[in-house]
Amino acid sequence: MMGPTTSDVHPTMAVKLFSAGVAACVADAITFPLDTAKVRLQIQGESKTSSAIRYKGVLGTVTTLARTEGPMKLYGGLPAGLQRQISSASLRIGLYDTFQEFFTTGRESSLGSKISAGLTTGAVAVFIGQPTEVVKVRLQAQSHLHGLKPRYTGTYNAYRIIATTEGLTGLWKGTSLNLARSIIINCTELVTYDLMKEALVKNKVLADGVPCHAVAAVIAGFCTTVLSSPVDVVKTRFINSPPGQYTSVPNCAMTMLAKEGPSAFFKGLVPAFLRLGSWNVIMFVCFEQLKRELMRSRQTAVDCAT
């Protein structure tokens, strides 16, 4: 009697978490220069000290950074970024199916259960991963040009200085903003990806393989970038600000609106889409393939044992 095939066996929790963590780290390492370019464009115009160099467009920002501060500056904050993916993305993506099954409770999967799963995993991921987000953004934003002394010399130095000068709460600065961003991203990115993949397979447009995963990921990335941009820009400004610059999150948003106009909320939109779109493609394709390979290996081991 034949045992269940790989496609019939649901991935275990460990397989989902491991696959999501590895896939997210691979995607982050490849697309990190785009994320750094996005952060620099988002904080441009925030203060007079940042106006000496003007960044123009994605390619212009990347080349200007590489020329003026060195190519390695494009990867400033990468260790914190990878820590964030391990602590946050692995939970956000790896637990999504588990929470969706929980909210479905025996019924057919619905849009409501998908959104509920996205909200829950997003909240858990933000609370655990917020310190790594704060450190990552500050390291990406700092510059040593024009006599500006960097606030931090490295990842762990940043953790220590923030904790000692701003208290432990400083590491969770902007949590409400990141939670709002995560809710938008999870309810758009994961749900859109899930719905698009189901639609493409169900309507026999594409088989459940790499092309299908890539198309669904690009569409999910575009929708997510547009909807999350205003919150993402305010989050970057608020997290990067020194103590006392903004009295609150609304004050940060209103200051941006008054000084720079509504377009400020969409600064860095193009690199944000290029980064999130490419990140989604790499992450989801790697996640799906790694998950399948791990389950295939597990099933082979079970078949050999029996």
**What is d(CA 260, CA 266) in angstroms, rounded to the nearest whole number?**
11
Question: Binning pLDDT at 50, 70 and 90, where does residue 189 land?
Answer: confident
**What is d(CA 214, CA 197) in angstroms, rounded to the nearest whole number?**
9
Give the start-to-end residue ranges of the domains of the chain: 174-267
Predicted confidence (pLDDT) at residue 7 exceeds the cutoff of 80:
no
**What is d(CA 106, CA 285) in angstroms, rounded to the nearest whole number?**
28
Please state the rounded mean pLDDT for residues 81-95. Answer: 81
Residue 4 pLDDT: 42
Contact 49, 86 (CB under 8 A): no
Residue 230 pLDDT: 93
Q: If you write DSSP's letter for every residue of 233-299 in order, what string do you get?
A: HHHHHHHHSPTTS-SSHHHHHHHHHHHH-GGGGGTTHHHHHHHHHHHHHHHHHHHHHHHHHHHHHHH
Residue 306 pLDDT: 63
Q: Where does the chain have alpha helices with state H?
A: 13-43, 57-69, 78-84, 90-94, 96-104, 111-141, 155-166, 175-185, 191-202, 210-240, 249-260, 269-305
Average pLDDT of every residue of the chain: 85
Question: Binning pLDDT at 50, 70 and 90, where does residue 3 land?
Answer: very low
- Taking only the tens place, the pLDDT of each residue in 151-178 is 898 999 999 999 999 999 999 998 988 8
Q: How many CA atoms lie within 13 A of 155 on its CB side?
A: 14
191: Cβ contacts below 8 Å, ≥ 6 apart = 111, 114, 115, 118
Contact 121, 185 (CB under 8 A): no
Please state the rounded mean pLDDT for residues 255-261. Answer: 93
Residue 288: both structure tokens together: 């799906």
**What is d(CA 171, CA 165) in angstroms, rounded to the nearest whole number?**
11
Please state the rounded mean pLDDT for residues 15-42. Answer: 90
Residue 1 pLDDT: 36
Residue 63: both structure tokens together: 């080349």
Give the DSSP letter of residue 86: I
Percentage of the chain exceeding pLDDT 90: 38
> If you count them, how many residues does the chain have?
306
Residue 52 pLDDT: 58
Question: Binning pLDDT at 50, 70 and 90, where does residue 105 land?
Answer: low
Contact 72, 111 (CB under 8 A): no
Percentage of the chain exceeding pLDDT 70: 90
- pTM here is 0.80
More confident residue, 144 or 251: 251
Q: Phi and psi (nearest 5°) for 208?
A: -75, 80
- Taking only the tens place, the pLDDT of each residue in 191-236 is 889 899 999 999 989 998 889 999 998 999 999 999 999 999 999 9
**What is d(CA 92, CA 145) in angstroms, rounded to the nearest whole number?**
37
More confident residue, 253 or 47: 253
Predicted confidence (pLDDT) at residue 2 exceeds the cutoff of 50:
no
